[in-house]
Amino acid sequence: MTTPKPDIPAAATPASPTTLTQEADRDFFKEPAFSTTTPKDDPVPSPTVETTKLGIKPEPKVDVAAAPVVATTTNGQAQETPITPKADAATPAAPAPTPAAAAPTSPTTITPATTTVATSAVPGITAAIAAAVSSTNDVDMPLAPETPIEELNLSIEESIEEDSDQDEALSDDDLRENGTESEEARQARQVQDRIEELQMRNNILEASLDETVTEKHRIEGEYSRAIGYSQDLHRQLIDTQQKLQKRERDYEVMSKNYLEHVRLIRATDDDHSTIIDRLTQLKASIEHLVRKAQGSRSVNLNKEVVIEHFKNSGLLEGFPIPADKLEAFHLNLYMESVIMSTLVTRFFGKALSCIFSFNEGFKDIYDWMHERNEKLAVRWRQQLCVMITQDPATKTRQEEEVNAAATELSELVTKVYTNANELSKLKDLCNKAFELSVAMTALESVISPETVALGTAFDEENMGTSLKSNPEGKVALVIFPSFVDKERAFNIRPKVWCY
């Protein structure tokens, strides 16, 4: 028995059954790309939107009033089976799965009035219609049996138009996800992103500004404290400068008073350092005078005269070398010791001064005062030295004494050294000795000459050697005595010759 073919108008068919079947199969077997992000404006996704997101082409809606009727044959008898679509929920939580197409029990063909449909295409058409019915958001309505195919085609076209309107009404996020974002939406999104970026930068700048302001306040506080410290230091500096200036004025007054006091008790301004220099110069002057008087290789030396003088002094008896074996340098060293001994006897050996006529009485009075009050005795001695130097008659007496000592020494030198005339140099030596004697006596602790005993072992630390002296021998001749004070704070080493 042959099933009658329904008449389907050609104008109402949007596409061929073959094409519809291929597109339905392709969309059905395509792997969906699920998205876990739900748009903000659509908290409950619709099946149509989810289908669009998954990349599935929306199928046309089918009018529930015009449900298709599929003719089947069972046991040689024809039956009409209506296809009832599944009812969609009002607000589905997830898109409903596409129902599988029912496999016909026997091949069936749907032939429109002007188009012949192969029996093998019926399952594809049935699946496409089921997908379209399941993808719509409309409320499912049961299809009345024996619905004309024309009404079914009109329902499909209306469903396609409604789906197109829904596609246009999709949000910008859906369009971006589907790659169909418009230019205006893209520009608006870029502007919004730029605004958010600038807002973020603004927040960062505000935070940085707050930190900078806080740091500025901290630095201003430190600067204020530093200014306060600076002002305090400046005031302290001014006070210190004022105190320093006052102390400088006080020091000037004290220095002036001290100098006036010193002038009353000190005959000269000499101290230990200046006296050391003057004694060293005196010793060098004696050495130079003898060297010049003897001439080159002692050609002017008269050995007989100097040996005779050597014997008369009594020093030759204890000398380790006999008279006939004395060399020229021995005799020259002896002449240096003779000149220095004369200066000690006439100038350095006096208690107060060589021109003071009361030297012997002075010594007795000074010793008596020193036993009872040492400080007053020292002050009295210093005041006597000042009176002697300030006495107008002192200069005349000094010249007389210097001339007498220089003349005595000049006569001896002239006899010992032929053609020698050293009177002027001898006067200069006597003047130096006189002034040194007064200066050493006017000190608080008197500096006086001290001879070294003959036969004493040589002490390198406390003695100075002379020409061809044995550093391991004993003292045989004292050329220049030592000068010391009572406290041994001042000490000039003696010049000796050892054998």
Q: Residue-wise pLDDT tens for the chain (499 aa)?
A: 444 444 544 444 444 445 555 554 555 455 555 444 444 444 444 444 444 444 444 444 444 444 444 444 444 444 554 544 444 434 444 444 444 444 444 443 334 444 444 445 555 555 656 555 455 444 444 444 444 555 655 666 665 566 555 544 445 555 555 555 688 999 999 999 999 999 999 999 999 999 999 999 999 999 999 999 999 999 999 999 999 999 999 999 998 888 777 777 777 888 899 999 999 999 999 999 999 999 888 899 999 999 999 999 999 988 999 999 999 999 999 999 999 999 999 999 887 777 777 777 888 898 899 999 999 999 998 888 888 888 888 888 889 999 999 999 999 999 999 988 899 999 999 999 999 998 999 888 999 999 999 999 999 999 998 989 999 999 999 999 999 998 889 999 999 999 9
Flag whether 287 is in a domain. yes
Task: Kindly list the strands in the beta sheet with 464-465, ordered across the sheet, starting from the edge strand earlier in the chain.
Answer: 464-465, 495-498, 475-480
CA-derived radius of gyration, the chain: 71
Question: Cα separation of 127 and 104, whole Å?
Answer: 12
Helix 17-29 / helix 122-135 crossing angle, nearest 10 deg? 60
Are residue 309 and residue 418 in the same domain, yes or no? yes
Flag whether 91 is in a domain. yes
> DSSP 3-state assignment of 240?
helix
Are residue 231 and residue 317 in the same domain, yes or no? no
Flag whether 121 is in a domain. yes
pLDDT at 96: 45
- Residue type, position 154, single letter: L
Are residue 236 and residue 169 in the same domain, yes or no? no
pLDDT at 129: 60
Q: What are phi and psi of 449, to 5 degrees?
A: -75, 150
Are residue 170 and residue 149 in the same domain, yes or no? yes
Question: Cα separation of 18 and 457, whole Å?
Answer: 147
Flag whether 97 is in a domain. yes
* Sign, Cα dihedral of 43, 46, 47, 50: negative
pLDDT at 27: 54
Of 244, 265, 286, which marks where a domain is finished? 265
> DSSP 3-state assignment of 135?
helix
Other C-beta atoms lying within 10 Å of the C-beta of residue 268: 18
pTM of the entire predicted model: 0.52
pLDDT at 297: 85
Flag whether 3 is in a domain. no
Question: Cα separation of 240 and 231, whole Å?
Answer: 14
Question: Cα separation of 36 and 318, whole Å?
Answer: 133
> DSSP 3-state assignment of 150?
helix
- CA 353 to each of CA 365, 404, 429, 440: distance values in angstroms, whole numbers, following the listed order: 15, 15, 16, 10
Q: Are 156 and 61 in contact (CB under 8 A)?
A: yes
How big, in percent rounded to 5, are the helix, strand and coil portions of the chain?
Answer: 55, 5, 35
Of 236, 265, 294, which marks where a domain is finished? 265
The residue range of the domain holding 320 is 266-498
pLDDT at 22: 54
Tokens of 418: 């032929």
pLDDT at 385: 87
Of 217, 239, 265, which marks where a domain is finished? 265
Are residue 167 and residue 38 in the same domain, yes or no? yes
Are residue 431 and residue 284 in the same domain, yes or no? yes
pLDDT at 333: 95
Flag whether 213 is in a domain. yes
Buried b (16+ CB within 10 A) or exposed e, 195-220: eeeeeeeeeeeeeeeeeeeeeeeeee
Question: Cα separation of 222 and 219, whole Å?
Answer: 5
Question: How far, rounded to the nearest angstrom, does the alpha carbon of residue 227 sit from its chain's CA centroid?
Answer: 24
Are residue 82 and residue 228 in the same domain, yes or no? no
pLDDT at 360: 76
Are residue 345 and residue 243 in the same domain, yes or no? no
Are residue 187 and residue 168 in the same domain, yes or no? no
Question: Cα separation of 499 and 485, whole Å?
Answer: 29
pLDDT at 269: 80
Listed residue (12, 22, 29) closest to 160, CA to CA: 12
Are residue 280 and residue 252 in the same domain, yes or no? no
Are residue 373 and residue 487 in the same domain, yes or no? yes
Are residue 337 and residue 474 in the same domain, yes or no? yes
> DSSP 3-state assignment of 475?
strand
- Residue type, position 37, single letter: T
Which residues, including other chains, have CB under 8 Å from residue 149's CB and lie 6 or more apart? 6, 7, 8, 66, 68, 112
Tokens of 286: 């004696």
> DSSP 3-state assignment of 137?
coil
DSSP 482: E
Distance, first Cα to last Cα, the chain: 173
pLDDT at 130: 56
Flag whether 2 is in a domain. no
Flag whether 6 is in a domain. no
Instruction: Look at the chain and report how many structural domains it folds into.
Output: 3
- CA 78 to each of CA 7, 71, 117: distance values in angstroms, whole numbers, following the listed order: 18, 7, 18
pLDDT at 115: 43
